[in-house]
Amino acid sequence: MLPRNGRRVILFPLPFQGHINPMLQLANILYSKGFSITIVHTEFNSPNFRKYPHFDFHSFSDGVSEIEATTEDIPAFLAALNAKCVMSNTQEDDSFACLITDSAWHFAHAVANDFKLRTLVLQSCSISAHLAFAAYPIVREKGYLPIQDSQLEAPVIELPPLRVKDIPSFKSKDPEDLHKLLLAIDSQLQASSGMIWNSFQDLEKVQLTTIHKQYYNSISGFVVGPFHKYFPASSSSLRSQDQSSISWLEKQAPKSVIYVSFGSVAAISETEFLEIAWGLANSMVPFLWVIRPGLVRGAEWLEPLPKGGLAHPAVGGFWTHSGWNSTLESICEGVPMICQPFLSDQMVNARYVSHVWRIGLHLEGKLQRKEIERAIRRVMVEATEGHEMRERILQLKEKVDVCLKKGGSSYQSRQRLVDHILSFT
């Protein structure tokens, strides 16, 4: 740990679990390089500051109502957040080096300008997914949108290997809301002093080259991830952790358990819940299923199973919603995936896992117990296919270890990021 260098970085996470985690991990990375840290956050879904006594936390009013907080219309919700948030308690300070904001906070660049601060933007999605977001105007112009049921399986020629059904989308009353949101986000990116990626070059080098060449050729990019590997014991979950499942895992054979977790946002019907349960049971493969409150619509009686455990030696497969943090963690642990994406960038991640990196399977149709059972057995039991996926993901795991060591791509990118921030005056 380096001594404090007299410079302070302000970080501004979006108030969703999948965005809070990487922002706090990045904060820890910068703290370890000598920067003091201030976390500015909304009152809605505020992070657990008790786990970070070495950071300063400042909340501000966001005006989020209970109805708005439970909406599934993400574009409208983000538009409302950007309009309502007022960072009135952030005071100008000569020690502030810059503001690092989540890309979805498109109003933040204007605020930083008011304080004469440079802005860096953290991308919480994969580079591959952001490439799809960046191409949204082109995809729209080419007639892929609005998505037609008859075209779901058609390839998106401009974004191989994506199909029309993989184009990132959200439930929204007004399809124009997402278009407006992405334009506002892109405007902030174009005006920023750099983009930070939670990824590693051996995984997404082609996509990194493409996105800078086609969209951001004048903006510095820093591929510093996987963030969580710098401090593997840290956690910033908004939900309480329970490690009681570890004793059960200890009794299982190595690589024998399928771990099931659909993240912090996804919701399924009771019918889908039963199909998943029967598919798991019929596969005859031991499983650990994380069931959080709210996962099953209208079934508040469910008790949450403990989170964690993907790194346990007994785990041999991961059934995931394909959120980027979960995908990276699975790669880092060398665990093949069964992908069940629900929305947004998850669709892109699942396609890359199954068709580009070939380290997992993609459940693409309606959730049915026979298909679920078949997918589990393909990953966990069948020798050839499961073995090949495991070999490929173990090779990526080794590349993660190399990129973080001295001289590795993420190691060097982290130092470039530190030097970049220190250059701001």
pTM: 0.90
R_g over Cα of the chain: 21
Contacts of 355 (CB under 8 A, 6+ apart): 161, 362
* Alpha-carbon dihedral sign for residues 179, 22, 311, 225: positive
Supply the pLDDT for residue 278. Answer: 94
Residue 212, CB-side half-sphere exposure with 13 Å CA sphere:
16
pLDDT tens, N- to C-terminus, the chain (425 residues): 566 677 999 999 988 888 999 999 999 999 999 999 999 988 777 787 888 999 999 887 766 655 565 566 676 767 666 666 655 445 556 679 999 999 988 888 888 888 889 999 999 999 999 999 999 999 999 989 888 888 999 999 999 999 999 998 777 777 778 888 888 889 989 999 999 999 999 999 999 999 999 999 989 999 999 999 998 655 433 334 456 678 888 889 999 999 998 877 777 888 898 999 999 999 999 999 888 777 777 655 444 444 456 788 899 999 999 999 999 999 999 999 999 998 889 999 999 999 999 999 999 988 899 999 999 999 999 878 889 999 999 999 999 999 999 999 999 999 999 999 999 96
Cα–Cα distance measured from residue 324 to residue 312, given in angstroms and rounded to the nearest whole number: 20
Supply the pLDDT for residue 150. Answer: 85
CB 7 within 8 A of CB 37: no
CATH of domain 8-233+407-422: 3.40.50.2000
Contacts of 275 (CB under 8 A, 6+ apart): 367, 368, 369, 372
Q: How far does CA 70 lie from the centroid of its chain?
A: 20
Residues of the chain with CATH 3.40.50.2000: 8-233+407-422, 246-401
Supply the pLDDT for residue 401. Answer: 96
DSSP summary character for residue 64:
-
Backbone angles phi, psi at 38, to 5 degrees: -120, 125
CB atoms closer than 10 angstroms to residue 298: 8
Residue type at 153? E
Supply the pLDDT for residue 348. Answer: 97
> String of b and e for 379-404 (b: at least 16 CB within 10 Å)?
bbeeeeebeebbebbbebbebbeebb
Picking from 288, 282, 338, the residue whose alpha carbon sits closest to that of residue 314 is 288
The structure tokens 């909304």 sit at: 42
Cα–Cα distance measured from residue 283 to residue 136, given in angstroms and rounded to the nearest whole number: 39
Supply the DSSP string of 88-141, one letter for each residue.
TT----TTEEEEEEETT-TTHHHHHHHTT-EEEEEE-S-HHHHHHHHTHHHHHH
Supply the pLDDT for residue 306. Answer: 46
Supply the pLDDT for residue 170. Answer: 73
Q: What element of type H or E holds 60?
A: strand 56-60
Fold of 246-401: Rossmann fold (3.40.50)
CB 337 within 8 A of CB 397: no
CB 325 within 8 A of CB 18: yes
Laid out side by side, the sheet with 36-42 consists of 56-60, 36-42, 8-12, 96-102, 118-123, 195-197, 221-223
